[in-house]
Amino acid sequence: MVHPGHRQSRRLADSQAGDEGSDRKMNTHHLTTSRTNPQFYIFSQLFGNDFNWNNCNWEGIQNVTWEEFWQREGHELLELKWHKRFPEYKDLIDVVSSEEQGLWKELWEKHASDYSDKFWYIFSCAFENYQRYLAKSFGLVVAKNSEDVEQDLQNLSLTNKPIKSKQQRENKENESYLTANNDPEDCDEEQQLRLLGLPTSFASKANIINRQEKKTQYEPSCSDSEDDEDLLTMENSENEALHGVQSGSVKKNKRRQGQLKKHKARMPECMQEDNNKMVKYWVKRFSLFSRFDQGIRLDRESWFSVTPEKIAKQTARRLACDVILDAFCGCGGNAIQFANTCGRVIAVDIDAEKLAMAKHNAGIYGVAHKIEFIHADFLQFAATTKLRPNVVFLSPPWGGPDYQKQATFDIETNLLPVGASNLMQLSRSLASDVAFFLPRNANMKQVVALSGVGQQCEVEHNYLDTRMVALTAYYGKGIIKGSVGEDE
Ligand code: MGP
Ligand code: SAH
């Protein structure tokens, strides 16, 4: 099936808006979320060690990155959506007559027309957010076009509330993310959503910059909705109360407080201390492990450190090899997924209790037999082992959720147990291909510098719905896509 392209579909979508729009629910031109099944996607880019923001054709690079992203993900989203709308298609298409096949084809074209513009609009906003983040983490200040921001907020706001004054907006942008240190019960509804890692309105953090030309091709309206939410959706009853924010003004809500209390009551013992900070991780438990309710075990540190399953899966796809070393295994979020793509997983952690939990969790996913659990300090292990894995994966401690308090996270001074260069050097003594899981606010100059003189790295920014969760940096020609560097 061929993606019809957003220009053509714009025209078709317009002409069809009238017949379907009126009885649709409002609100779906944003990414809503399901904490059990968030939409995962990445923006990814290559950086050379000699990368210089000031000398490069940044706009050109970003255009290519966007095109690549859209070619890859746009079509996939359309297909995903298609199979959700027409689950019978898979079974029927091979047995129906050629006349019926023609009807299916027509239906597909209409489907692609209806949805490609919506998805394009949603993800181009996320991409702008990504660009801005990237600029910031390279230490640059990107000027914003306030008219654009204002217009986009108006288009994308869930609440139709009046646009905030410039000053209010600036204050809001400056406050950056609400962190685990915020108390949900002190927050209003919008803040609680943000604290739970859920989007309040798509553009509130999108920091839209000038994409005027593209924006005018598709301006979503309130009637332009139907069910993007099948793909990008709130699904379970836990989310129900949050829907209020979509149709009315945002205000404190007793029901929500009741829900938070219920969540807290169900949280395990290790999360009870400071449970206001921990509840957001509990709410996301099925996004951390889809099999959570089959008995997944986590200790306190792992609740906020484990890699969400969809991200771990993507990393595992990228790092598929014979032998992988997961140097900071924790409770197994990454190791379990590596076991599905690699021949053998060596999982090291300094904490024996976490390793025991990782083994138990791997059993739930049926992969414990593929993982060798080693209780060791990675620094000592790396210095003494004779093992030569194909790839080393590093997801060291970042110093807890407070990592977010820094505008830019210094990976040389804030990572544990030692700085990123040290970890890289040790890892490279074992394998030339190394991947690093790092905070989204990591200093990008340092991230790129780790690749070494004349070398490249590839950096993936991982998103779950509208949230940039973290980044994964790949080093070594065996794992970088389209690398032009010499690694030996
Ligand atoms: P987070 O920032 O605490 O959560 O962690 P969130 O929901 O993005 O926070 P919010 O307040 O902005 O809504 C995001 C992800 O980073 C977690 O799911 C973990 O996968 C990862 N992570 C967080 N910490 C503190 C660590 C850490 O210390 N080490 C490692 N390896 N990963 C971490
Ligand atoms: N990727 C893991 C989470 C890792 S959190 C997951 O998805 O589940 C970081 C882990 O590093 C913690 O489990 C901590 O016990 C471990 N750690 C800290 N210092 C270490 C060291 N010196 N050597 C090995 N592991 C260490």
Q: What is the pLDDT of residue 228?
A: 38
* pLDDT band, very low/low/confident/very high, at 144 (cuts 50, 70, 90): low
Let me know if 394 is exposed, middle or buried by CB neighbors in 10 A (0-12, 13-18, 19+): buried
Closest residue to atom 13 of ligand 1, CA basis: 197
Q: Which of 32, 33, 248, 30 is nearest to 160 (CA)?
A: 248
Ligand nearest to the CA of 279: 1
Structure tokens, 301: 């540190």
Is the shortest distance between the CB of 470 and ligand 1 below 6 Å? Answer: yes
- Average pLDDT across the chain, whole number: 75
Q: What is the pLDDT of residue 118?
A: 84
**Cα separation of the two ends of the chain:** 42
Q: pLDDT for 433-470, tens place per residue?
A: 999 999 999 999 999 999 999 999 999 999 998 889 99
Residue 327 has pLDDT above 60, yes or no: yes
- CA 197 to CA 287: how far, in whole Å? 12
Closest residue to atom 30 of ligand 1, CA basis: 305
Q: What is the pLDDT of residue 50?
A: 80
Strands 391-394 and 323-326: parallel
Q: To test the ligand 1 pocket, which listed residue (292, 304, 472) has its Cβ within 8 A of the most ligand atoms?
A: 304
| Greatest pairwise CA separation for the chain in angstroms | 69
Q: To test the ligand 1 pocket, which listed residue (40, 305, 326, 461) has its Cβ within 8 A of the most ligand atoms?
A: 305
Q: Which atom of ligand 2 is nearest to the CA of 348?
A: 24
Q: Quote the ligand 2 centre to 342 CA distance (angstroms).
A: 20
Specify the pTM: 0.76
Q: pLDDT for 70-103, tens place per residue?
A: 888 888 888 988 998 999 998 888 888 888 889 9
Q: To test the ligand 2 pocket, which listed residue (296, 306, 329, 373) has its Cβ within 8 A of the most ligand atoms?
A: 329
Q: What is the pLDDT of residue 171?
A: 39
Q: Quote the ligand 1 centre to 483 CA distance (angstroms).
A: 29
Residue 158 has pLDDT above 50, yes or no: no
CB 415 within 8 A of CB 406: no
Q: Percentage of residues in the chain with pLDDT exceeding 70?
A: 68
CB 337 within 8 A of CB 324: no
Q: Quote the ligand 2 centre to 356 CA distance (angstroms).
A: 13
Closest residue to atom 17 of ligand 1, CA basis: 305
Q: What is the pLDDT of residue 35?
A: 57
Is the shortest distance between the CB of 389 and ligand 1 below 6 Å? Answer: no
Which segment of 140-149, 195-204, 311-320 scores lowest on mean pLDDT? 195-204
- Per-residue pLDDT, averaged over 143-154, amounts to 41
Q: Percentage of residues in the chain with pLDDT exceeding 90?
A: 48
Q: Which of 393, 428, 431, 368 is nearest to 316 (CA)?
A: 393
Structure tokens, 45: 């880019």
Which segment of 1-10, 51-60, 288-297 scores lowest on mean pLDDT? 1-10
CB 223 within 8 A of CB 22: yes
Comparison of pLDDT for 129 and 223, the residue scoring more? 129
Q: Quote the ligand 2 centre to 432 CA distance (angstroms).
A: 21
Residue 361 has pLDDT above 50, yes or no: yes
Structure tokens, 417: 């147990």
Whole-number Cα distances in Å, 107 to 1, 101, 269, 426, 448: 11, 10, 52, 56, 46
Q: pLDDT for 220-258, tens place per residue?
A: 332 233 333 444 432 333 333 333 344 444 566 788 888
Report the 10 Å Cβ neighbour count for 249: 11
Q: What is the pLDDT of residue 163?
A: 31
- Per-residue pLDDT, averaged over 327-337, amounts to 98
Q: Quote the ligand 2 centre to 384 CA distance (angstroms).
A: 19
Q: What is the pLDDT of residue 142?
A: 61
Q: Which atom of ligand 1 is nearest to the CA of 197?
A: 13
Comparison of pLDDT for 289 and 253, the residue scoring more? 289
Is the shortest distance between the CB of 182 and ligand 1 below 6 Å? Answer: no
At which residue do the structure tokens 């990368």 appear?
51
